[in-house]
Amino acid sequence: MIKVMRVFKKQEILIILLSFLLVFSQVWLELKMPDFMSKITVLVQTEGSEMSEILKNGLYMLICALLSLVSAVIVGYLISKLSATFSLRTRKRLFEKTLSFSMNEVKDFKASSLITRTTNDVTQIEMFLGMGLQLLMRAPLTAIWAITKILDKSWQWSMATAIAVVVLLAVVGILVMIVVPRFKKVQKLTDDLNEVTRENLTGIRVVRAFNAEKYQENKFDNVNNNLTKTQLFNQKAFAIMSPIMYLVMYFLALIIYLIGASLIQNAGMNDKLIIFGDMIVFSSYAMQIIISFLLLAMIFMILPRASVSANRINEVLNTETTIKDGKGNKKEKEEGTVEFKNVSFKYPDAEEYLLKDINFKANKGETIAFIGSTGSGKSTLINLIPRFYDVTDGEVMVDGINVKDYKLNSLHNKIGYVPQKAVMFNGTVSTNITYGDTDKVEITEQKIKEAIEVAQAKDFVEKMDNTYDAHIAQGGTNVSGGQKQRLSIARAIARNPEIYIFDDSFSALDYKTDSLLRSELKKYTKDATSIIVAQRIGTIMHADKIIVLDEGKCVGMGTHKELLKNCEVYKQIALSQLTKEELENA
Amino acid sequence: MPRPGGPRGNMEKAKNFKFAITRLIKELNKFRVLIIISLLLAALGSVLSIFAPNRLSELTDEISKGLVPKYDKLGEITEKIQSNNFQEFTIDDELITKDDQLIFINSLQKINDKNDSKALYSEFDSFPESIKNVIKPSMDISAIKNIAIFLAVLYILSALFTYIESVAMTTVSNKFAFKLRDKISKKINKLPLKYFDHNQNGDILSRVTNDVDTIAQTMNTSLATLVSSITLFVGAIVMMFYTNWIMAITAIVSSFIGFIFMFIILGKSQKYFVMRQKELGNLNGHIEEVYSGLNVVKVYNGSREVNEVFDLYNQKLYEANRKSQFLSGLMPPMMGFIGNFGYVAVCIVGALLTMNGTISFGVIVAFMTYVRLFTQPLSQIGQAMNALQSTAAAAERVFEFIDEEEMSDEKEITKKLDKNKVEGRIEFRNVTFKYDGNNKPTITNFNAIAKPGQKIAIVGPTGAGKTTMVNLLMKFYDITDGDILIDGVSIKELTRENVHSLFTMVLQDTWLFNGTVKDNIIYNMEDSSDEKMKDICKIVGLDHFIKTLPNSYNSNLSNSDGVSAGQKQLLTIARGMMEDAPFIILDEATSNVDTRTEELVQKAMDRLTHDRTSFIIAHRLSTIKNADLILVMQDGNIVEQGTHNDLINKKGFYAELYNSQFEL
């Protein structure tokens, strides 16, 4: 919890100190007010009091009240600024941290969890700060102050107050012990509820096709029941809190009076009045003490929730990305080349290698294609080039330099990567094409149009409202799968990269568009190197070099014709798509 | 297909507060007994708290009786001594001897001023015992005891009431939340699919969790607080007017300014709370976009751009956060000040009135309590109203969803096709279909016949309407014009459930849920045997993969990143094959599976389904080459149909499409 607070700078610490001082004066003023109040009461009750006296004391009291209001307002302002600043900075830190993560860390945390941590968890702590910080300053101050005011009074009263505080703390303690573990459970169950509902929503067609509505509803019912039961238990337990707290408070007052009565009864005539006065003062301060302790207890009750969030945030902040920027001090020896030297890869905690001993070199202007069965490691292999993951053994070289030696920025500037699943951002067609930074060229309007034309996207883009400035919804939900893929290819083209990486990026295109696009691209970028992953033989058969992968190993390398002759796996794949004649005629 | 993605509307503030609340009350009718009990208890608790201060001041009075010596007895004794001339006499059963009288008079003479009570107190101890006993201050112990017991009972009762009340309210609100969630969950399956084209899943999810939670939480506190505060408030006003109307008006007027302030603040802060939710939504959207497309963000060096947008939203959220928190935080100190202000005002006006002789001191003392009782619930009412507003806002969203138009009623449908007796003939007759909100129909005048046992392929460029055909066939959408006949029966005359039971459908989007492999394959066909499942997995080539998983068929799928896209598709295919339906639809079901595996799967399927009519949609034309009939679609029409060889020989659109894979 403390750790997440380190975002505060000197200025904020000063603000905290200032608010503490203000709270201090506020408490002083508030404890001062009862004095005036009792003076006014006495004046009003005494016959023949001067009106001016009442006015004077009333004025004092109002001044106290006003000053306390003013300081409360200022403190409120400062604290709200403080907690908002906290969340502003923490969100930013989390966001930047996540941006620095490699796919490994993202996979470990899960993107959805990173999202909740960046928003929800931060909000939890912010709320705690907003409410808790003031209480945290105020409650102990009031308690201590009130205690000092009554310390020298009769020990019987102090005893009674102490017992009341202990009872109170015991009740709160027991409640915390019972309820807090269930808080976590509630959080978990809410997640489950979300998941079951999301499941039904995302699979709505499947659910209906299988007539599985009842099945899903039962599943939901289960979670719903669990959640409701746990919630009900928690809240019922909490419901006891408020009556007990009032009961303790009122009983304490009553007991103080009763003790007072017997003290007065047994005291000498001279002491009686003093004891009576003490009694009144004591009981009002005792209330203050009890309330302060209650507030403190409440803080400790909401603290666990905030600290669960704080832990989740720290987990992210403390995770060091496994992929660090290289020094960037080596000069490129070649241009447009990609080379794998004995590359092997496995996930950090996995046992089996996903890739084993991969060797190849792509020269400038060449097209290298990868083909292989589902799960053979094609995507994993090309993910090593932009360093989404780092190799376990061996070396990946781009332009003759190990990718680990590049600054990530300059490595990425060389690459035009088109993922398997097209990613679209909220914005326009143009902003999606010009996405990101590049040191090579400024992406002009002309360039955007060219890229879109080469990517065979011109037709549909020009049919859209506002054409190149047409709105693209988040995730590209307002364009079809094939259209998304073409736009995401155009995005790569617009950057003029040395090396293109296509990770099964043509799968949503029909054969015609696919081949048109590739031939246009070839014309447009004669010098660029292309690395292509594909399922369709047609997409790759004209590549300069085809590498056949099977269970993470290279089982064949060569041209289409060569592989047909000497690679059994390739032949099988080819024959599953085309007839013998077609293959020979192609 | 219409894919609306407009900005999410802001619904935090109820559009129609009154309607939402009326509706809420109607929905709560089932719980009325519990609610009435708890509201009564809340009101009763408030009444008790109007009582308690009075009794407490009585207790103070009784105790203060023990402070002052009995001046009347003192006077009586002095008088008796003078009149009896130092004769022994008894007073209050106490014998006062002659000696005692002498000592007493001696002491008394030392006091110069008879009214100086301090001097009297200091001489008090030198009085003879007998006289001391008579005039010493004494409390009415039994009266004190009685009041104390009365108060203790009052406190315990009030605590008990509060407890019962909050338990009752908690029960109501949680059960109500349960009910609402349940309704939403059931509603999801009753809505037409077109609803989901226009609404984001995230929004519906938010209704199930956030909105229902808000209702439960705010209702729990706000209703009871509102009732008890209003009781207290009204009670205090009644008591005040009953006691003295001038003072009552003073108290009310002095708090009135506070009232106005409160509502201004409430209104303002509500605005910022709404803003805050909105900005949080924007930020969340941006973060979601970036995190889920992180590979692209990285490789395109998009972090500067992404950070700029993030900062913009983050800053806006910061402003909204700060303002909403500041304004809502103003309430308690504000109300405290108003309480103090009212207190002073009452004292001053009271004092003035006393000087005129209009009222007695007791009235002022009473009013000091009333002012507290009057202003204290004010802030609570304010907060409860605030809470109630968000209840209304959330309730509105929930009800809006629950009231959404459902799929057409099917009670009148009596026809039913038995899935075991279906022959397998499907006829599309002049089918035309237009999505709501689209101008152009997606499908126009589609005619085709699928004979029993045939394998029908639908091919064509994206946007040609292939998936729409599947949606119509499955009765997910209602046909705009024309008809689809299964074995000569119009699907309009069959229930959706019946139609669904006739089809096995596997889609491109693999849908797997958190659960074991077995759960995912068997799904709701719980009476299927494990043997059947294992057989099918062997056939589709999953057996080996599943055996490598830590708990084979009982392995959980949620945390297995090792499952590739192709394996996921195979799992959904296995699920589909579990269902023995006479018709099969494969909509790009094998697009992520490599072609060799696909071939195996297809062979297996053909064996399993040799007498079943199947529909296959695929971009990869090798997938459908052996179909009995290929329907080539373009812009919602069938432009060509025939077998692969027919179409290739025809050298039309299909041939062009097919041959383009050999071009560079």
Q: What is the distance between the alpha carbons of residues B451 and B474, in angstroms, rounded to a whole number? A: 18
Among B464, B470, B472, which Cα is nearest to B442's? B464
* pLDDT score of B114: 58
Q: What is the distance between the alpha carbons of residues B160 and B492, in angstroms, rounded to a whole number? A: 61
Residue B559 pLDDT greater than 60, yes or no: no
**Which is more confident, B326 or B332?**
B326
Question: Where does the pLDDT of residue B13 fall: very low under 50, low under 70, confident under 90, or very high at 90 and above?
Answer: very low
In this predicted model, what pLDDT tens digit does every residue of B375-424 receive, in sequence order?
777 767 777 776 777 777 778 778 888 888 888 777 777 777 777 788 88
Q: How many CA atoms lie within 13 A of B335 on its CB side?
A: 20
> What are the phi and psi torsion angles at B324 (to 5°)?
-65, -40
Long-range CB pairs of B251-254, under 8 A, 24+ apart, other chains included? B251/B342, B251/B345, B251/B346, B251/B367, B251/B370, B251/B371, B251/B374, B252/B374, B254/B338, B254/B341, B254/B342, B254/B345, B254/B346
From the list A62, A76, A205, the residue facing B330 with the nearest CB is A76
Beta strand B426-433 with B94-96 is unpaired
B283 close contact with A: CB closer than 8 A:
yes
Q: How many CB atoms lie within 10 A of CB A573?
A: 25
| Contacts B594 to A, Cβ<8 Å | 372-374, 376, 535, 573
pLDDT tens series, chain A, 586 aa = 677 777 777 888 888 889 889 988 888 888 787 777 777 777 766 666 677 887 888 888 888 888 988 998 899 899 888 888 888 888 898 888 888 888 778 777 777 677 777 877 788 788 888 878 888 888 888 888 888 877 777 788 888 888 888 888 888 888 888 887 887 787 778 778 877 887 787 778 788 888 888 888 888 899 899 989 988 888 888 788 878 888 888 888 888 888 888 888 777 777 777 777 777 778 778 887 888 887 887 777 677 777 777 888 888 888 888 777 778 777 777 788 888 888 888 877 666 778 888 888 888 888 888 888 777 788 888 888 888 888 888 888 888 888 888 888 888 888 888 887 788 887 888 888 888 777 766 777 788 888 888 888 887 788 777 788 888 776 666 677 778 888 888 888 888 888 888 888 887 777 778 888 888 888 887 788 888 888 778 778 888 888 888 878 888 888 888 888 888 888 888 777 777 767 666 5
Rg (CA), chain A: 36
Can you list the domains of chain B with their CATH numbers? 71-135 (no CATH), 426-662 (3.40.50.300)
For chain A, what is the total number of helices (H) and then of strands (E)? 21, 12
From the list B6, B67, B344, the residue facing A273 with the nearest CB is B67
Residue type, B336: G
* pLDDT score of B5: 33
Which residue in chain B is spatially nearest to A252 when comparing CA positions?
B152
B170 close contact with A: CB closer than 8 A:
yes
Quote the pTM value: 0.74
Question: Where does the pLDDT of residue B663 fall: very low under 50, low under 70, confident under 90, or very high at 90 and above?
Answer: low
B310 close contact with A: CB closer than 8 A:
yes
Instruction: Please tell me whether residue A406 adopts helix, strand or coil conformation.
Output: coil
Question: Which of B:447-506 have CB within 8 Å of A?
Answer: 460-463, 474, 476, 496-497, 500-501, 503-505
* pLDDT score of B1: 32
Q: In B523-640, which residue ranges form alpha helices assigned H by DSSP? A: 530-539, 543-548, 565-578, 595-608
Q: What is the distance between the alpha carbons of residues B445 and B425, in angstroms, rounded to a whole number? A: 19
Question: Where does the pLDDT of residue B113 fall: very low under 50, low under 70, confident under 90, or very high at 90 and above?
Answer: low
Please give the mean pLDDT across all residues of chain B.
Answer: 78
Report DSSP letters for B379-402, one per residue. Answer: HHHHHHHHHHHHHHHHHHHHHHHH
Among A477, A476, A483, which Cα is nearest to A424's? A476
CA B170 to chain centroid, in Å, comes to 14
Mutate to test the interface with B, among A188, A205, A255 (most CBs of B within 10 A): A205
Among B127, B136, B125, which Cα is nearest to A265's? B136
What ipTM score was computed for the predicted complex, to two decimals?
0.80
Residue identified by tokens 């030392």 is B110
Sheet holding A393-398, edge to edge: A355-362, A338-345, A393-398, A401-402
In this complex, do B286 and A130 lie within 8 Å of one another by their Cβ atoms? Answer: no
Which residue in chain B is spatially nearest to A543 when comparing CA positions?
B664
Residue identified by tokens 């992210």 is A316
Residues 6 or more apart whose CB falls under 8 angstroms from that of B603 comprise none
Report DSSP letters for A119-152, one per residue. Answer: IIIHHHHHHHHHHHHHHHHHHHHHHHHHHHHHTT
* pLDDT score of B560: 47
Residue B473 pLDDT greater than 80, yes or no: yes
* pLDDT score of B11: 35
In this complex, do B148 and A91 lie within 8 Å of one another by their Cβ atoms? Answer: no
Beta strand A401-402 with A393-398 is antiparallel
Among B165, B96, B105, which Cα is nearest to B131's? B96
Q: What is the distance between the alpha carbons of residues B443 and B472, in angstroms, rounded to a whole number? A: 10
In this complex, do A425 and B289 lie within 8 Å of one another by their Cβ atoms? Answer: yes
Residues 6 or more apart whose CB falls under 8 angstroms from that of B403 comprise none
Cα angle B75, B77, B79; round to 5: 70
B606 to B450, B571, B598, B599: CA distances (angstroms): 16, 18, 12, 10
| Contacts B159 to A, Cβ<8 Å | 243-244, 246-247
In this complex, do A279 and B136 lie within 8 Å of one another by their Cβ atoms? Answer: no
Among B183, B165, B155, which Cα is nearest to B223's? B165
- The terminus-to-terminus CA distance of chain B in angstroms comes to 32
In this complex, do B595 and A535 lie within 8 Å of one another by their Cβ atoms? Answer: yes
Residues 6 or more apart whose CB falls under 8 angstroms from that of A274 comprise none
| Contacts A272 to B, Cβ<8 Å | 66-67, 137
Chain A closest-CA separation from residue B513 CA (Å): 6
- The terminus-to-terminus CA distance of chain A in angstroms comes to 67
From the list B136, B291, B598, the residue facing A115 with the nearest CB is B291
Cβ atoms A425, A418 nearer than 8 A: no
In this predicted model, what pLDDT tens digit does every residue of A218-263 receive, in sequence order?
888 998 999 899 888 888 887 888 788 888 888 888 888 888 888 8
B663 close contact with A: CB closer than 8 A:
yes
Chain A and chain B share a number of CB contacts under 8 A equal to: 461
Q: A11: which 2 tokens?
A: 């200025």
* pLDDT score of B112: 63
**Which is more confident, A166 or B117?**
A166
From the list A41, A250, A264, the residue facing B155 with the nearest CB is A250
In this complex, do A95 and B505 lie within 8 Å of one another by their Cβ atoms? Answer: no
Can you list the domains of chain A with their CATH numbers? 3-318 (1.20.1560.10)
Mutate to test the interface with B, among A108, A208, A441, A479 (most CBs of B within 10 A): A208
Question: Which of B:338-377 have CB within 8 Å of A?
Answer: 340-341, 343-344, 347-348, 350-352, 354-355, 361, 364-365, 368
In this complex, do A40 and B305 lie within 8 Å of one another by their Cβ atoms? Answer: no
Beta strand A529-533 with A499-503 is parallel
Residue B576 pLDDT greater than 60, yes or no: yes
B181 close contact with A: CB closer than 8 A:
yes
Question: Where does the pLDDT of residue B10 fall: very low under 50, low under 70, confident under 90, or very high at 90 and above?
Answer: very low
Residue identified by tokens 């589709």 is B540
B198 close contact with A: CB closer than 8 A:
no
B653 close contact with A: CB closer than 8 A:
no
Chain A closest-CA separation from residue B330 CA (Å): 6
Chain A closest-CA separation from residue B625 CA (Å): 9
Among A454, A482, A453, which Cα is nearest to A467's? A453
The least confident of A75-79, B10-14, B168-172, B405-409 is B10-14
> Furthest-apart CA pair in chain A: how many Å?
125
Among A366, A383, A479, which Cα is nearest to A427's? A479
Instruction: Please tell me whether residue A580 adopts helix, strand or coil conformation.
Output: helix
* pLDDT score of B562: 62
Q: How many CB atoms lie within 10 A of CB B434?
A: 17
Residue B47 pLDDT greater than 60, yes or no: yes
In this complex, do B59 and A76 lie within 8 Å of one another by their Cβ atoms? Answer: no
Which residue in chain A is spatially nearest to B119 when comparing CA positions?
A270
Which residue in chain B is spatially nearest to A583 when comparing CA positions?
B662
Residue type, A364: K
Mutate to test the interface with A, among B44, B49, B63 (most CBs of A within 10 A): B63
In this complex, do B299 and A473 lie within 8 Å of one another by their Cβ atoms? Answer: no
Residue B558 pLDDT greater than 70, yes or no: no
From the list A66, A111, A586, the residue facing B292 with the nearest CB is A111
Cβ atoms B446, B431 nearer than 8 A: yes
| Contacts B288 to A, Cβ<8 Å | 111, 115, 474
Which residue in chain A is spatially nearest to B152 when comparing CA positions?
A251
Q: A427: which 2 tokens?
A: 């914005």
In this complex, do A87 and B566 lie within 8 Å of one another by their Cβ atoms? Answer: no
Question: Where does the pLDDT of residue B6 fall: very low under 50, low under 70, confident under 90, or very high at 90 and above?
Answer: very low
Question: Where does the pLDDT of residue B530 fall: very low under 50, low under 70, confident under 90, or very high at 90 and above?
Answer: confident
Among B188, B202, B636, which Cα is nearest to B435's? B636
B620 close contact with A: CB closer than 8 A:
yes
In this predicted model, what pLDDT tens digit does every residue of B202-222 receive, in sequence order?
667 777 777 787 787 777 777
Residue B8 pLDDT greater than 50, yes or no: no
Chain A closest-CA separation from residue B590 CA (Å): 11
| Contacts A471 to B, Cβ<8 Å | 5
